[in-house]
Structure 1
């Protein structure tokens, strides 16, 4: 699930601040293409329309809490790795049960008494399954933690009173940071058209020293966060950033609350909806019904993904901002 964040943290460990700054200062899409025309800071409007993009957990006079693009991209690792872990654990207990039964009976299936080699085999067999499980965990557990046994979600809070952006992340993904809104850079082409802009999500960047951690230590490298549900086209992407920008610059009246906020409770049907990923517009256009048919044909795989998605939510904890951030600006 946290592939983008994990990849960024891994990238920071491979390059110095100077190298990272040079890389991001190029701001190019691909070699040979025009330079990215990013907005000149948070004060520049990029769109007439605003759209909250169905990405808000909270909206009030002080702050908005926004989701990240990770929510749907989870469950596959949990389902796959969980099955493998379960097989090894089942094999261990089965071997242990058989060994205990043989030790208590003292006889083989043929009725002959157990010999020294039999006791050795029945002792070592359960241990071998534990060793195999331990080796598998050693090389795969870090991937399992990308979507299970970690924070259930990353939350980006925009506080218009303190003019700060708060990143609620687990420690292995950078931890909690407090970043300056006025120093936020948006990695986005403000002039993108529907032909060249395929949507995506908002990417925000801060330079070295533009934020602090909870202990007040300034950041010593570039920081980045990915904001919002993936959009379908350029218009939605620009309108979503404009929604956030107007909330922070002009207030809640310029970016009104959505009719329905996102829930944080792990309802199982929400996991099915995330795994299915079928846009409702497919039902409104007969020419797109082929995508509905394809989804129906792969429904067993979707159900497996949805089950893994739900289990990964249940195996995670719900993160909460520290009290000092919760009370900031009130």
Structure 2
């Protein structure tokens, strides 16, 4: 979970801002390599259509809250390590219970009195079980926390009144940032093919000093955020960015409210839908029904993934913007 954000934060730790800038300036386009035709700032339109991409949590006259591409990428680690934790814990408790019962009665299973060697092994096995469980927990718990016991989601807020982009992230993924909308750089190719837009999402970037943290300190490095669920083609991707751009530049009338907003409550059937991952629009084309058959064949694995996905959500906390951001622009 949050693989993209973790990767970017890790890359920032490898080199300073100055080194990254120098490395970027040294890179030249290779012969035959297509040039990225990115929009020239947030004022340039990239599509005649708008599309909300079914990615909005909140929509009002002041701001919109949008999801990131990470929501479905969770659950496998939780169900795998969680099952091992449960088995080890159950084994340790069972052995401790048996040992305690033997100590209290002072008798073996055959009714004879316990001897010194019996007490020794009862204590030894109990300590070994506890030690092994603690050892395993110590070296695997950080992986468990990749998708559990952390923020349930990352939210990107676009406030058209303050003309700011607010990034709601855990501290280890960069923390909360308040970025200038007018200085936003869009990493998007206007001339991409439809196929290149498959599984794509909007990537926004800012240079050093283009935003602040909650204390008002200017950012000292690049900032990047990933916006929206993966799209099916380039038309959807460009129309999604156009939806955000028009909302910020032209107002709500230019970017109508979606028919349905995303819910933040962890309903179990939403986890099943995320694990299922089958676009129901494919059902209109008989040639693509093979994907339905494949998903049915792997249904047991899907159910296991869905269970892990749901447990992961239950084991996370729902992040909230600070009050100063909630009231901004009202």
TM-score (norm 2): 0.95
Q: CA deviation at 1:171?
A: 1.3
Partner of 1:133: 133
Farther-moved stretch of structure 1 (161-170 vs 14-23): 14-23
Alignment of 1:158-173 (within 5 A): 158-173=158-173
1:219 pairs with 2:219: yes
Matched position secondary structure for 2:68: coil
Matched position secondary structure for 2:224: strand
Does the aligned pair in 2 maintain the 1:170–1:176 contact within 8 Å? yes
Query: C-alpha separation between the residues in 2 aligned to 1:288 and 1:11?
Result: 39
Partner of 1:262: 262
Gapped regions of structure 2 (runs ≥ 5): none
Partner of 1:228: 228
The 1:115/1:25 distance shift into structure 2, 3 A limit, reads farther
The 1:72/1:56 distance shift into structure 2, 3 A limit, reads same
1:34 pairs with 2:34: yes
Q: CA deviation at 1:35?
A: 2.4
Query: C-alpha separation between the residues in 1 aligned to 2:119 and 2:215?
Result: 57
Query: C-alpha separation between the residues in 2 aligned to 1:321 and 1:133?
Result: 37
Q: CA deviation at 1:21?
A: 3.0
Query: C-alpha separation between the residues in 1 aligned to 2:37 and 2:22?
Result: 17
Partner of 1:181: 181
Query: C-alpha separation between the residues in 2 aligned to 1:124 and 1:117?
Result: 10
Q: CA deviation at 1:292?
A: 0.4
Does the aligned pair in 2 maintain the 1:28–1:35 contact within 8 Å? no
Farther-moved stretch of structure 1 (146-155 vs 34-43): 34-43
Matched position secondary structure for 2:308: helix
Gapped regions of structure 1 (runs ≥ 5): none
Alignment of 1:3-18 (within 5 A): 3-18=3-18
The 1:144/1:105 distance shift into structure 2, 3 A limit, reads same
The 1:286/1:188 distance shift into structure 2, 3 A limit, reads same
Query: C-alpha separation between the residues in 2 aligned to 1:89 and 1:31?
Result: 59
Farther-moved stretch of structure 1 (15-24 vs 305-314): 15-24
Query: C-alpha separation between the residues in 2 aligned to 1:246 and 1:27?
Result: 33
Note the aligned Cα RMSD (angstroms): 1.8
Equivalent residues, number:
330
The 1:25/1:11 distance shift into structure 2, 3 A limit, reads same
Does the aligned pair in 1 maintain the 2:197–2:231 contact within 8 Å? no
Does the aligned pair in 2 maintain the 1:21–1:222 contact within 8 Å? no
The 1:25/1:60 distance shift into structure 2, 3 A limit, reads farther
TM-score (norm 1): 0.95
Matched position secondary structure for 1:205: strand
Q: CA deviation at 1:147?
A: 1.2
Farther-moved stretch of structure 1 (24-33 vs 311-320): 24-33
